[in-house]
Chains A and B, each alone.
Chain A
Amino acid sequence: MGRRRLGIGLAIVVILVAAAGTAQAQAKLRRGGKFEVQPAYASGVVRLGKREGYRGYLFMATNGVAILELVRIDRRGEKGTVSLALYAVHTRGSVDETVRARFGSLGSFSLRFRPNGDVQDEGVRSGCEGPSTVTEHGWFDGHVTFHGEHHYLDFTLPGGTGQLERSFPLVCEKGKAFHLPTHRLQPYVVLSSFFPTDGNIALLYASARRHGRFTGIVAGHRNGAPPGAELRFESFESRGAMAIGRYALAETPQGALLTSLPGQHPATATLAPPAPFYGEARYRETSAHAGAWSGNLGIDLAGLRLPLTGPGFHARLCVLSPLGHRKGCDFFKAEPEYDERPARPWWMAR
Chain B
Amino acid sequence: MRRRGAAASALALVALACLPASAGANGGSGTSILRRPPIIRTTRFELQGSNGYSILIASGSRQHVMVKTTSEGEELVTEYVTRDLLAAPDRVRAKLPGLIAISVRFYPRGPLRHPSPPGCKGRRPAVQHGVVRGTIRFIGERGYTRVEAHEANAEIEEATSWRCSAAAAQPEPPPPTHETWTSKFSAQREGVYLLVRKYPPGAIEGGEVLYSADAGEIVSMQPKLFIYRHATIAAPASTFADAHPERLAVSPPAPFAGTGRLSRTPESVFTWEGDLTVQFPGIDPVPLAGPGFGSDYCIREVGCIQQSFDSHS
| Residues of chain A having any CB pair with chain B under 8 Å | 201-202, 221, 223-229, 254-255, 257-262, 319, 321-326
Contact = CB atoms under 8 A, between A and B. Distances in A.
Interface residues of B, number: 19
8 contacts: A201-B268, A224-B307, A226-B311, A227-B269, A322-B305, A323-B299, A323-B304, A326-B303
B303 A261 contact: no
A223 B306 contact: yes
A229 B269 CA distance: 10
A13 B43 CA distance: 65
Contacts of A257: 267
Contacts of A255: 267
Interface in B279-311: 299, 302-308, 310-311
A221 to B, nearest CB: 4
A259 B303 contact: no
Considering residues A254, A260, A261, A322, which has the most beta carbons from chain B within 10 angstroms of its beta carbon?
Answer: A322
Given A225-B269, A229-B267, 18 more contacts: A221-B267, A221-B268, A223-B305, A223-B306, A224-B307, A224-B311, A226-B269, A227-B265, A227-B267, A257-B267, A258-B266, A258-B267, A319-B268, A322-B303, A323-B303, A323-B304, A324-B245, A325-B303
Given A201-B268, A255-B267, A225 B308 contact: yes
Interface of B: 245-246, 264-269, 299, 302-308, 310-312
A227 to B, nearest CB: 5
Contacts of B302: 323-324
Contacts of B245: 321, 323-324
Contacts of B246: 261-262, 321, 323
Dominant secondary structure at the B interface: loop
Contact of A226 (B299, B304, B305, B310): B310
| 8 closest Cβ pairs, A-B complex | A224-B306, A258-B266, A202-B268, A226-B311, A221-B268, A323-B303, A322-B305, A323-B245
Nearest to A255: B267
Contacts of B312: 227
Contact of A227 (B264, B303, B306, B311): B311
Nearest to B247: A261
Contact of B267 (A224, A228, A322): A228
A326 B265 CA distance: 19
A128 B79 CA distance: 64
A259 B266 contact: yes
Nearest to B246: A321
A93 B305 CA distance: 57
A254 B313 CA distance: 11
Contacts of A321: 245-246, 305
A226 B308 contact: yes
Considering residues A226, A254, A259, which has the most beta carbons from chain B within 10 angstroms of its beta carbon?
Answer: A226
A325 B305 CA distance: 10
Contacts of B311: 224-227
Nearest to B296: A224
Contacts of A227: 265, 267, 269, 311-312
A322 B299 contact: no
Nearest to B298: A323
A201 B268 CA distance: 7
B225 to A, nearest CB: 35
A185 B266 CA distance: 42
B252 to A, nearest CB: 22
Contacts of A261: 246, 264, 266
B245 to A, nearest CB: 5
Nearest to A322: B305
Contacts of A221: 267-269
A226 B305 CA distance: 13
Nearest to A256: B267
Contacts of B310: 226
B306 A322 contact: yes
A225 to B, nearest CB: 7
B99 to A, nearest CB: 40
A325 B268 CA distance: 14
A17 B133 CA distance: 78
A229 to B, nearest CB: 8
Nearest to B301: A324
